[in-house]
Amino acid sequence: MDNHFTITIHDDSGVKQINLHKFVKRVILYALVFLVVVSFLGVAVILYLSSSVKDMQTKRSSVELAYKKLKKQNKELQAIMQTTKSSLQEKKKELHELSDSLTEIETMIGMNPVSNEISLQDRVNFTKMNSEHMATMLQLIPSGSPIEYHGITSKFGYRIHPTLGRREFHRGSDMKAKMNTPVYAPADGIIEYAGNHKKSGFGRLVIIQHAFGFRTYYGHLNKIVIKSTKFVKKGDLIAYTGNSGMSNGPHLHYEIRFIHNVVNPFWFIKWSMENYNEIFKKEKKIPWQSLVAATANIKVLKPTQTLPSSQQVQESKGK
């Protein structure tokens, strides 16, 4: 009996007793323990898996959020890159246009374009140096029209004198002008003479002494507004045109001399930044090479851009 145990079952039929061996009892006990352990392990695994799933879902949400953020940043970056690309293309186009414009300026001022040999910055620096020298030359040497230009009535050279009626050499250019047209200094200088000059027949006359041996004469004036020994800058008002002296009508007798030798004023009247090199070919009496060398290290800080007479012409054309 020690190896057996009895299970008593009560039901409607009566009482039943079942005798089981202790080994079976142990098996059942172990089975119950195993089931309890498995149940606990199952519950633990389920809880663990549930927690893992939640963590995975949280990580997935984070990844999706990060992906959306990266996608948005990528879109913004692409937009910035596109804008930058467009800007770079525009700048590249502007640089090409600037290079072309610089080539035109280089050609205009007599420089050989060297776009493939030096940088654009160096080209700009060289051009600036040349343009500054050009501005200095045009500031110190008579250039441009002293009055609003409407043509020449009597050219430089031999002619029949309009009042004397004989052939003689005309030392200047008679410029067409109405009475009291403003006359401006075509270069920096000092007033050598300002007054009535009966002996020459110029009537009221102004003489300006400029740098490097140049002098300019303004004859047949009506009114002089500057005095002798006064310094003038290019563009300063010096007088008004008239009909004084031996003259047959209002005009300006404009004369240029270099070391007391007369030169044709016409090329100086037309001389500007746009046709800077032309005068070197037209006027052979001036030692331009040595003059350019002499002025190479001179710089005018605030050169006169255009004479007031030239501005008047531009304004009248605009109207």
Distance CA 237, CA 304 (A): 13
Q: Residues 168, 277: one domain?
A: yes
Q: Token pair 């007088």 is at which residue?
A: 239
For the chain, the domain total comes to 2
State pLDDT tens for residues 95-119.
Answer: 777 666 656 555 555 555 554 555 6
Q: Residues 161, 284: one domain?
A: yes
Q: Residue 79: pLDDT above 80?
A: yes
State pLDDT tens for residues 6-57.
Answer: 667 777 777 766 666 666 667 777 888 888 888 888 888 888 888 888 888 8
| Position 128 in a domain | no
User: Domain range spanning residue 288?
Assistant: 144-294
Exposure of 274 by Cβ count < 10 A (0-12 exposed, 13-18 middle, 19+ buried)? exposed
SS3 289: helix
Q: Residues 284, 192: one domain?
A: yes
| Domain boundary residue, one of 37, 63, 95 | 95
Q: Residues 19, 159: one domain?
A: no
State pLDDT tens for residues 172-230.
Answer: 999 999 999 999 999 999 999 999 998 888 999 999 999 999 999 999 999 999 999 99
| Position 204 in a domain | yes
| Position 230 in a domain | yes
> Over the chain, what is the mean pLDDT?
83
Number of other CB atoms surrounding residue 267 within 10 Å = 19
What secondary structure letter does DSSP report for 209? E
For residue 219, give the nearest of 171, 188, 255 by alpha carbon.
Answer: 255
